[in-house]
Chain A
């Protein structure tokens, strides 16, 4: 090839590259929103069409399946990538994202646009928007309220023969459990029972090892048993709180649930595995985030009147708490389109859009929506959502949350699924791990 040929080829290549690039850059204004790949994300795509029509900004979406969501998106934030202009990030990321300058602080914007955090469910403001916690420093707008709760086979509970058998065995009605003790009776009752010629099992609970699954499930139970993250009067003092006698009992209870009453092979299950087990009619009870409830309600196999919903039952002392899920929407600091991204948040915060969001399957955190007199009856799971959101607690949201989470994943899975050591060993080990993390963080 002569030099002249090479130049011609290079020029053609450049033209071709320009030609390819033009369609992508044709839209003068676009925004990319990053979130997890799940049902609510599909609803948001539909909802966002209104924003596109009103603003002229075209929306792009980058959705990553839950097991890889944190890995992928935290990589993006840490590397200062420009893929995402808007991030609907997990609640636990808020500390790191705020301290490392990855999210734009929204206080001035909220003040300017008249967006008040007092208009949102308080738990979602603390969980999704504030850093430091309980301080008026906002890094996100509560976007999707979520909480762990339970769905159950209402049609099975209603069967007279099962009701009679249950009453004879336990001396009470087969009904929604009010305590974890009652819940265990129910799942034991259903375990390996023949229903309609099929063997069914007690409950699908979280046991996943890789990301955050088992921690979300264990914590959901531990809170109600009396677990505390730290000494309320002395932050980061863990000994005697994380590994208190009550917490040990809670962890033992979770293992008993796993050992006695889950389907075979349920050793690595999180949201999607649990929902599959429930929708396929394998289990009577199903622990999962509230986002799964609209899908259950619409399901041909278990939907409609066949399923009911209830919040986390109470622990031995009558206290009931639930693990907070959900996310806030933030503007990514490295984005070059922050003006448009803020415009999206302004649009999203409007009450009518929030109402639409709820109607499309998104859990709005706006008080005007959830306190509407018709809200509780608008869907069969709406009241359970409200009840659950009133009792939420969340995992650490410290900048070092990932190390804290991984330690919990290992300790809980080692004990609950692999059956290694005792619950006390697991929680003592967790205190040791978390103390090391906080020492590294200079908290002592």
Chain B
């Protein structure tokens, strides 16, 4: 007679442990197994969150261990929300977030649509396209600073070649108007393959029979695209937007490496600004309030978005 997995695990359990376990209810056993994860979660996620919220109401500075810590109420929150510079970093973040998502969705979906077609070298092209997302953001940021170099950079040379402009006449990361686009280009170059892969999974999940039925009904390719492909890929696309949105809201490494937040503060995203407050100015209480505000913003937006995503999936 075949033994069940449960029986085999029970037999393999050492007697010492089995004796100790004997008499425990299923519920107690379940808690026993889940407890380490819960303890870990509390220790590394929940406790720091609660501690951060507590610190956000104080004037605590981590570099002043001897200084008295005062409760300042909502002063940190009020000062953050009324700080013009912080709103400018929010604007810079929104600009970066919106344009990277728009470009990555458009290009990513287009690439996925092309890759989904059967042609020679399909796999090779897929591999080549996904290469950028396998690199470290610090490495990508570093080598793009060379590509953007006005005197020796390939990017400037290519633009000069195509437009006839002098390559050294513009600086992608040193010009106030170009720098926000410089970081968008690099992020799009790096993360479009990720969106493409998710879209590709969506495209490949559509049963061919649906298209065959549409063909029988003499639906045009255009019509098939809008009434079959887009609605069925939409949940995947929305998932990609969610992932990229969350990732880019907390974008730090790539932009620090590329521009350091400059020129001036044009590309200083909220995460860079937060890092300066927390670990350069050492305003721990203030930075905690800042982090709480960002957390609530991301959490709130993501929750609304996930509800919308669920509605789309249920359609």
Contacts and interface: CB of A to CB of B under 8 A. Distances in A.
Interface of A: 2-3, 70-71, 74-75, 77-78, 80, 96, 99-101, 208-210, 263-268, 399, 402-403, 406, 410, 413-415, 417-420, 440
A208 B263 CA distance: 9
B65 A406 contact: no
Contact of B168 (A75, A101, A264, A406): A264
Given A264-B171, A265-B173, A406-B280, A100 B263 contact: no
Contacts of B280: 70-71, 402, 406
A45 B265 CA distance: 39
Contacts of A414: 264-265
Contact of B151 (A75, A265, A415): A265
Contact of B64 (A80, A265, A399): A399
Interface of B: 14, 16-17, 59, 62-66, 85, 148-151, 153, 168-169, 171, 173-176, 256, 259-266, 276, 279-283
A195 B61 CA distance: 54
Contacts of B65: 78, 80, 100-101
B214 to A, nearest CB: 53
A264 B265 CA distance: 20
Nearest to B286: A440
Given A100-B63, A413-B264, A418-B265, A406 B281 contact: yes
A399 B149 CA distance: 38
B263 A413 contact: yes
Contacts of A2: 14
Contacts of B263: 209, 267-268, 413, 417-418
10 contacts: A77-B63, A78-B65, A209-B261, A210-B261, A264-B150, A265-B153, A265-B171, A410-B264, A415-B264, A418-B262
B50 to A, nearest CB: 21
Contact of B262 (A99, A413, A440): A413
A29 to B, nearest CB: 29
A96 B63 contact: yes
A208 B260 contact: yes
A420 B176 contact: yes
B87 to A, nearest CB: 15
A442 to B, nearest CB: 10
A298 B190 CA distance: 41
B213 to A, nearest CB: 56
Contact of B176 (A210, A410, A418): A418
Contacts of A266: 174
Nearest to B264: A418
Contact of B276 (A96, A100, A264, A406): A406
A78 B63 contact: yes
B282 A267 contact: no
Contact of A74 (B63, B66, B153): B63
Nearest to B171: A265
Residue among B65, B256, B264 facing the most chain A CB atoms (10 A cut-off): B264
Contact of A418 (B59, B64, B260, B266): B266
B150 A265 contact: yes
Given A100-B66, A101-B66, A263-B151, A403 B176 contact: no
A204 to B, nearest CB: 13
B111 to A, nearest CB: 31
A419 B17 CA distance: 72
A127 to B, nearest CB: 21
Contacts of B262: 209-210, 267-268, 413, 417-418
Contacts of A417: 174, 262-264
Residue among B85, B174, B261 facing the most chain A CB atoms (10 A cut-off): B174
Given A265-B173, A406-B281, 17 more contacts: A3-B16, A75-B279, A101-B65, A209-B263, A263-B151, A265-B148, A266-B174, A267-B171, A267-B174, A267-B263, A268-B263, A402-B63, A403-B283, A413-B262, A413-B264, A414-B265, A418-B263
Contacts of A96: 63
A264 to B, nearest CB: 4
Contact of A71 (B64, B169, B279, B283): B279
A410 to B, nearest CB: 6
B14 A3 contact: yes
Contacts of B150: 264-265
